[in-house]
Amino acid sequence: MEKCRIVFSGSGGQGVITAAIILAEAAVLHENLNAVQSQSYGAAARGGATRSDVIISESDIHYPKVVQPNILVCLTQEAYHKFYPILRPGGLLLSDRRYVQTSRKVDARQVEIPMYDSVMEEIGKTIVFNICMLGALISLIDTVTPDSILKVLKTRIPNNFLDMNKKALNLGIKLGNESGV
């Protein structure tokens, strides 16, 4: 497989870092791949700009950060403006239609999905917005299977909330598949 270099970006509290961790952990524990996850954030836990980098590869990973992602996820306008210029030409840009207005032409597969609105409509809880995003993402890249993500969710999420997360994951997968990319 080609090295998968992903930047997740958004705002503190959206679950961007959690989603990145779940994806990387699934790759390592259930797909027999190597992965490194790192993050950069300010002193503010909620509301500040957040970025998490994930590299998934079959070989050793030395430098753990992503300089030029081939996959970029943006969940806020600020994150989009800040990070779209570093996206590798021909890469994949996944953004939320409610939060991000893609104003410029980028040399990338731009996938705008109404993830937030769909989560609110079908589940009604913003807390699983990140898991829906993760579902959409894995449907667009064939690196980690939904089953592997579910296995990780089971170890991280209290039983009472598991169904809601499963629903959000499946919703994301469905939206990703329907995006027609």
Partner 1 sequence: MNKNTKFIQGNEACVEGALYAGLDFFAGYPITPSTEIAEHLAKRLPEKGGKFIQMEDEIASLCAIIGASLTGHKVMTATSGPGFSLMQEALSYAVMTEIPCVIVDVQRGGPSTGIPTHGSQGDVNQARWGTHGDHAIIALTASNHQDIFEVTVNAFNLAETYRTPVILLFDEITGHMREPLTIPEKGKLELVQRLRTSVKQGVDYHPYLPREDGRLPMSDFGDVHRYNVTGLVHDMWGFPSSEPKAAYELLRHLVDKIENRANKIAMFKEYHMEDAECVLISYGASARSSLHVVEDRRIRGERLGLIELQTLWPFPSDIIREKCADSKYVMVVEQNMGQILHEVKLSVDRPDRVFLANRIDGVFITPLDIMNILRLIQGKGV
**Cβ count near 146 (within 10 Å):** 17
DSSP character for 86?
A: G
CA distance 144 to 6: 13
**Cβ count near 51 (within 10 Å):** 20
Least Å distance, CB 115 to partner 1, is 24
Choice from 3, 47, 61, 156 touching partner 1 (CB under 8 A): 61
**Side-chain half-sphere CA neighbours of 59 within 13 A:** 5
> Smaller CB distance to partner 1: residue 44 or 181?
44
Choice from 3, 65, 154, 156 touching partner 1 (CB under 8 A): 65
DSSP output for 140-158: HSSSS-HHHHHHHHHHHS-
C-alpha triplet 93, 98, 99: angle, nearest 5°: 65
**Interaction pattern, residues 16-35, with partner 1; x per rule: CB under 8 A:** -----x--xx--xxx-x-xx
Contact 95, 112 (CB under 8 A): yes
Q: Is 11 in the site for partner 1 (CB under 8 A)?
A: no
Least Å distance, CB 119 to partner 1, is 26
Q: What are phi and psi of 51, to 5 degrees?
A: -140, 135
Q: Is 114 in the site for partner 1 (CB under 8 A)?
A: no
Least Å distance, CB 53 to partner 1, is 9
> Smaller CB distance to partner 1: residue 25 or 96?
25
> Smaller CB distance to partner 1: residue 21 or 72?
21
Could you tell me the sign of the dihedral formed by the alpha carbons of 11, 15, 21, 27, in that order? negative
> Smaller CB distance to partner 1: residue 57 or 170?
57
Number of residues in contact with partner 1 under rule CB under 8 A: 23
> Smaller CB distance to partner 1: residue 13 or 98?
13
Least Å distance, CB 17 to partner 1, is 10
Q: Is 7 in the site for partner 1 (CB under 8 A)?
A: no
